[in-house]
Structure 1
Amino acid sequence: MSAGTTTRSGGRRPSPLDRFRQLPLRSRLALLTTVAVAFAVALSAAACWLLTRDRLTEQLDAQLSSVEVNPSYVQALSAYCNNPDGVHFQPTPYTIQLVSSGGYVCTSPDKSPIPAQRADTAVAAGRVEGTVHTTKATDGAAMRVSTTPYRGPLTDAQGHRLAISVAVPMSQITEPLDQLALVLLIVAGVGVLGAATAGLWVARAGLKPVDRLTDAVEHVARTQDLTIRIPADGEDEIARLSRSFNSMTAALAASRDLQQQLIADAGHELRTPLTSLRTNIDLLVRSEQSGRAIPAADKAALLASVKAQMGELAALIGDLQELSRPQGPGQTVVEVVALHDIVGTALERARLRGPSLTVTADVEPWYVRAEPAALERAVVNLLDNAVKFSPAGGSVEVRLSDGELTVRDHGPGIPQDELPHVFERFWRSPSARSLPGSGLGLSIVARTVEQAGGAVRLRSADLGGTEAVVTLPGAPAPPPQLPKEPPSRPDDRDG
C-alpha cells in the first residue's frame, strides 16, 4: 500500500504523513505536543465522566433499593387499576408499578407506564430475586427501574403473581453528567490550547541552540570561515552536538591549515630542484643551438646533475603521495608482517647506498600488524637517514629485540633544541640544508609507526651520533593461521 494517493494526471498526492514531514521542526514538535496533551486530557476526561456515571448510577440504585412500598399502597394501587374512580393517592416522586408474571402492568396515577421487561416478569414469576435496569416509559423518558418480588396475596385478574417496580427518571443522572461533560469539554479545550501555546514556546526555546547551529553551518557554507564556534553550556544532547560541531570545525580548520602549509612547503621544496634542473637543461639547449660544444667532462657533470635532480623530484613526489594518502580506518590493508625481514631488506639497500660504511645488525624475529609497503618505506627511511648523516668510514648499528628497533649512526648528531621538530613535515636541520632530501622522511616514519600502534623517538647517542628508536607491538612468532578448506574434488562438484 502506498503512502499517498495518485491523481488523475498520474502524480502522487501527498499523504497526511508526507504533509506532516514537510512542516518545520518546531511546528511538528508543537503539533505532537498538542496531540499528546489532547489525547491525555481526553482520556482523563473520559475516565472522569465514566467514573462519575458509575458512581451516580450506584447511588441511584441504592436509593431505589431502599424504597419500601407500603402493602396498603399496593392494595390501593391494585384497586385503582381495576376501578380508577374513587381512589386517591398521595403524590410520590417515584413511579410505582405492579408487574404480573404475564406481563400486565399497573402504574401509579399521573405517571407514564413503563412496559414490563423480561427481567421484570421473571422476578414476578419468582425465577429471579430482583433486577435493576434502564428502560423507557411510554412517553419516551429514560427510567431507572428496580423490580422486587411482591410477597403478599394479591394477583392479577388471571391469577398471575405480582412484582413491584420502583422507577425514577434517568435525568437525575444524565443532567449532572451533561453538565460535567460540558465542563470537561471546556477544560479540555483550554488545556489543549494552552498545550499548543506551551508546545510552540517550548519548541522555539528548545530549538534555539539548533537555530544557532544552523546559522553557524550556513555561515561556514557561505563564507568558508572555520573559526566560528558555538557556545556549548550544559551536558544535554544539544550541548554535545554543539561541542561536536566545534570539534569538527576545529579539525577542518587544522586540516585546511595543514593542507595549505603542505602546498606551500611542497612548492618551496619543488622550486629548488626545478630551478636547478631548468638551468642545466637551458645550458645544454643553448650549447646545441649556438654550436658551442660543452666540454665532455662538464657535459657529463651536467647530465649527472640533471639525473640527480630528477631522482630528487621523483623521491619528493613519492613522499608527497605517501603523506597525502588517507589515514582513516579501512583505508589501508593491514596484515601480519615479519619486521625482521623488512629490516633485512632495508639493510641490503643501506649497504648499497653507503659502501664505505660498516653496517652491523642484530635482528631477532618479530611480527607486527601493519601495512607492509608503508612499514618497509619507514624502515628504509630510517636507515637512509643514518647512512646520509654518517661520515665516510663510519658505522651504522641496527638492533631489533622484543619489538624495539634501534638505528644508531655516528654522525654529527642533532642538537637538543632541534629534536622536537625532527618529525615535522619539510623541517630540516640547518646543518642538513646542503644534503639531498625533502624533509619528509621522518614525518612518514612517524605516521606509519603511529598507524601500526607504535611510537618513534630520536635521541642523542652516547659518544656522539643519533639513535632512532621505534617500538611496535607484536610477537616473536606469527599468529596461528586458520586451516584452509581442502579443494573439492571434480566428482564432488559434478554432484
Structure 2
Amino acid sequence: MSFRARVALAAAAAVAVAVVGISIGAYVLVRDSLRDEVDRSLSQRSVRTELAPFGRRFGTIRPPAFGGAAGYLQLVGADGATLRPPGDDVPLPVDDADLAVARGESGARYADVEVDGIHLRVLTRPVPGGALQLARPLEEVDASLSRLRAALLVAGGAGIALAALLGLVVSRTAVAPLGRLADEAEAIGATGDLTRRVGIAGTDEIGRLGHRFDEMLAALESSELARRQLVADASHELRTPIATVRTNVDLLARHPDLSPPERDAALETARAQLEELSALVTDLVEVARDGSEPAAPPEAFRLDEVVGDAVGRVERAYPAIRFSVEHEPTVVDGVADRVHRAVSNLLDNAAKWSPEGGVVEVRVRGAEVVVRDHGPGIDPDDLPHVFERFYRAPTARSTPGSGLGLAIVQRVAAEHGGAVTAENAADGGARFALRLGPADHPVGSV
C-alpha cells in the first residue's frame, strides 16, 4: 500500500471513529431524553389518579389536557392480586420488585415490559394498600429512535466516504513533495548524477527535509569531485617518481657492467625517488582520510615541547640550515601527534626555501606557532593558493614535495579550532602562523 493510500485510510479511519463516537453519543442523548419525557408523563399521570379504597371500586384518571395519553392502569395488592378498570382485561406483568413496592418495602420504579408484542414503559409506585402501575406504550419512542439510527447510519456512512475522498485529495497534495523527493532519489540512484536537486521550498517538515536532502546532495557532489580530483592529482604526482625509479632499475638491470660511480649515482637517485614516493604516499593517506576516521581524543600537552621535538627532527634533515627558536611554556588541548606533523610540515617548507646557511625563526607564544624563513617569499599570485591540495607554484615544481604539506597544516589547524595564515615578511621571506585553540590548563598541570 502506498504512503498516499495509508494517509487517506488513516484520515478516513479517524473520521470514522469520530463519527461513530458522535453518533453513539447523539443516539444515547436523544433516547434518554425521549424516555425521560415518557417517565415524567407517567409520573404526572400517576399523581392525578383518584383511587377509592382498594378492593371496593377502581378509581379514575383525570382526562389529560389536549387529549394526551392517559395510560394503562393496574392496582397490585400486597399479596400479588391485581385490579384493573372495567374493560381492561390484559394484565400487566408483576415481578418481585413490583411486589416489594406493593408491600411498602421499596419506592417507585420504572421498567420496560412487553405485553402482547407491545413495548411498554411501566411506573410502579406505592399507594395505600398496595401499588399503582401505570403503563404507556413506547412505540412512538422506538419509531423515533429507529429513524434516528437510520439517519445516523446514512449520515455517518456518507461522512466517512466523504472523508476518504477528501483524504485522497489532501494526501495527493500533501504527499506530492515526498513523491518528488522519492523520484529524485531513485533517479540519482539509477544515474549517479549528484548535480540533481529536489528544490522543495517551505519551512514545514517536508520543506526542511527537501532542503536537507539538497544539502546532502551538494555535500556528496563536493566529496565526489574532491575524490576525483584527488585521484587525478595523485596519479599525476605519483607518475614522476615511479617513472624515475623504474628508469634507474631498468638501467641497472640492462647494464650490469656500469662503473661503480654510475651504479652508485643510479642507486642514489632511485633511493631519493623512493623516499619522495614514500613521503607522497604518506601525505596521500593523510589527505584521503579527510576526517573519515575517528580522531584521537584531545589531551592537554606542552606545545613548546612538541615544537622543540619537531625542530630537532627537521634540523637533522637540513644540516645546512640554522633554526632559531624562541618559546614560552604553553599548554593546549589537542592531539600532540597531529600538531607535531603540522609544525614539521611548516618547518620543512621553510627549510626548503631557505638559502644555504640561512636561518629559520620559530616562535611559540600562547597557542600560536610562527615560522619565518628568509627565502624569496611567496609570489602574490600564489599566496591565495598555498594551502590548496597539490598546488605547487611554478618556482617550486623543481623542488621535492607533493604539494600536500601545507594542506595538511590547514586541516590540523581546523581540527584544533584554529587557523593557519601565510604572508610575506616586510624585510623578505615568508611567515606562517599556526594558531590552535586557547590554552586551558596551567603549565604545571602537564
TM-score by length of 2: 0.91
The Cα offsets for residues 298-352 of structure 1, whole Å up to 9 and x where unpaired, read as 3332222111111111110010011112515734443333322211111112222
Distance 1:214 1:478 in 2: 56
Aligned to 2:304: 340
Residue 121 of structure 2 corresponds to 144
Equivalent residue for 2:155, pick from 182, 187, 199? 187
Q: Does 1:168 align with 2:147?
A: no
Structure 1 Cα separation of the partners of residues 380 and 21 of structure 2: 78
Identify if the C-alpha distance between structure 1 residues 371 and 215 changes in structure 2 by more than 3 Å, giving closer, same or farther.
same
Measure, in 2, the Cα distance between the counterparts of 1:398 and 1:409: 9
Partner residue of 1:14?
none
Find the aligned partners of 1:46 and 1:228 in 2 and give their Cα distance: 54
1:477 to 425, 442, 445: 442
Cα distance between partner residues in 1 of 2:227 and 2:372: 33
**Structure 1 residues 325 and 78 mapped into 2: Cα distance closer, same or farther (>3 Å)?**
farther
Question: Per the alignment, do residues 305 and 147 of structure 1 end up closer, same or farther by CA in structure 2, a change over 3 Å counting?
Answer: same
Cα distance in structure 1, aligned partners of 2:156 and 2:443: 74
AA aligned to 2:50 is P
1:448: which partner in 2? Answer: 412
- 1:301-312 correspondence runs (5 A): 301-312=265-276
- Correspondence for 1:484: none
User: How much has 1:248 moved relative to structure 2?
Assistant: 1.0
Instruction: Give 1:270 deviation, angstroms.
Output: 1.1
C-alpha contact (below 8 Å) 1:95/1:111 kept by paired residues? no
Question: What corresponds to 1:66 in structure 2?
Answer: 44
1:251 aligns with 2:219: yes
Partner SS for 2:172: helix
Paired AA for residue 256 in structure 1: E
- Report percent identity of matched pairs: 39
3-state SS of paired residue (2:198): coil
Distance 2:385 2:83 in 1: 115
1:486 aligns with none
Q: Are residue 40 (structure 1) and residue 18 (structure 2) matched?
A: yes
**1:123-272 equivalent positions in 2, closer than 5 A:** 123-128=101-106, 130-151=107-128, 161-272=129-240
State whether residues 366 and 475 of structure 1, in contact with CA within 8 Å, keep that contact through their aligned partners in structure 2: no
SS in 1 for 2:266: helix
The offset of 1:76, in angstroms, is: 11
- Paired amino acid for 2:42: L
**Correspondence for 2:4:** 26
Question: Structure 1's 446 and 132: CA in aligned 2 closer, same or farther, altered over 3 A?
Answer: same
* Superposed displacement of residue 132, structure 1: 3.4
Query: In structure 2, how many angstroms separate the alpha carbons of the residues matched to 1:177 and 1:224?
Result: 66
Matched, 1:415 2:394: no
2:64 aligns with none
Q: 1:424 deviation in Å? A: 0.5
Q: 1:215 is matched by which residue type in structure 2?
A: D
1:222-251 per-position Cα deviation (integer Å, ceiling 9, x unaligned): 111001101221111111111111111111
1:425 alignment counterpart: 389
Q: CA deviation at 1:92?
A: 6.0
Alignment of 1:98 onto 2:61: no
Change (3 A) 1:91 1:343: closer
- Deviation track 1:59-93 (CA, whole Å, cap 9, x = no partner) reads 11111111144536x57996479xxxxxxxx9964
2:316 maps to a residue whose letter is L
For the Cα contact (< 8 Å) 1:112–1:137, is it kept in 2?
no
Deviation at 1:48, TM superposition (A): 0.6
Once the two structures are superposed, residues 255-278 of structure 1 have per-residue CA deviations (whole angstroms, 9 ceiling, x without a partner) of: 111111111111111112222222
Aligned length: 436
2:340 to 376, 379, 402: 376
Q: What are the ranges of 5 or more consecutive residues in structure 2 without an aligned counterpart?
A: 60-66
Q: Which moved more, 1:347-356 or 1:106-115?
A: 106-115
User: Is the Cα contact below 8 Å between 1:230 and 1:246 reproduced in 2?
Assistant: yes
Matched, 1:49 2:27: yes
Structure 1 distance, partners of 2:419, 2:221, is 26
1 CA distance for matches of 2:94 and 2:56? Answer: 16
Residue in structure 1 matched with residue 316 of structure 2 by the alignment: 352
CA 1:105 to 1:350, structure 2 compared with 1: closer, same or farther past 3 Å?
A: same
What's the secondary structure of 1:133's corresponding residue? strand
- The letter for the 1-side match of 2:440 is A
Cα distance change, pair 79–476 in 1 and its aligned pair in 2 (3 A): closer
Of the structure 1 ranges 25-34 and 303-312, higher mean CA displacement relative to structure 2 is found in 25-34
Q: Which runs of no fewer than 5 residues in structure 1 stay unpaired?
A: 1-22, 82-89, 152-160, 482-495
Report deviation, 1:118: 3.6
Aligned-partner residue type, residue 414 of structure 1: I
Secondary structure of the residue aligned to 1:417 is: coil
Which range is displaced more, 317-326 or 101-110? 101-110
